[in-house]
Amino acid sequence: MLIGSSSGAKQILSQNESLFSMQRAMSHLAVAVATASEPSLKARHLEAVQMIFDQITVPGSEQKQNSSAAAPDWEEQLLHRWFRWLGEPFPKLLLQCVRDPISEVQMGALRVLMALLRHQWAYPHFCAVNGFIDLLVDRSVANFDADALQLKHALVCRVVDAASPSVNAGQMELLRDYRVKGPFWLTPRMEVATEGAG
């Protein structure tokens, strides 16, 4: 899927590649993420998904942008179509990967979410999954290391800044509170539990 990571490559695929072939490739990629038994292999499949949706080129420039730049309209439409070809269960599958106890799978899934949630069209798909916002603001995820906590906080910041209408007012309040308190804040109950464990 490296061939689909640049803006020019996406344009070539959209114009010259059989739509059925690309649809089949995206479907196979989703199946690979779901069925890979080795964590390292699952992480590589997740990285392929990330590269497709994260690396774009600003019109008139060959410089890749990976943070806040918006893709051209044609690319947004193309990426949305490719995302749908990953299949309806993919958002739920991705959240399951975030909960995976294996760090490389967990981090891979968080990076895919960072890539996808730069696109406004992604929010209705993920906000329709029960527990999505709860997962973002949950501070009791015991198997998250410091890197994962920082990446999840960056993801929350991205969701807040996107201000998608798919996120309701109550959810946005929770997300903003999470952002303000930072990635390492502990609730009093969690602090007591941590002290007791020591």
Q: What is the pLDDT of residues 51-71, one digit of tens each?
A: 999 865 544 444 444 445 566
Residue 186 has pLDDT above 90, yes or no: no
Cα dihedral sign, 148-97-5-88: negative
Residues 6+ positions from 2 with CB-CB distance below 8 Å: 48, 51
129-168 pLDDT tens trace: 999 999 999 988 668 999 999 999 999 999 999 999 999 9
CATH number of the domain that residue 121 is part of:
1.25.10
112-130 pLDDT tens trace: 999 999 999 999 999 999 9
Split into its structural domains, the chain has a count of 1
pTM of the model: 0.82
Residue keyed to tokens 């690319």: 75
d(CA 155, CA 136): 8
Residue 13 has pLDDT above 70, yes or no: no
| Domain housing 89 | 2-197
* DSSP H or E run through 56: strand 56-57
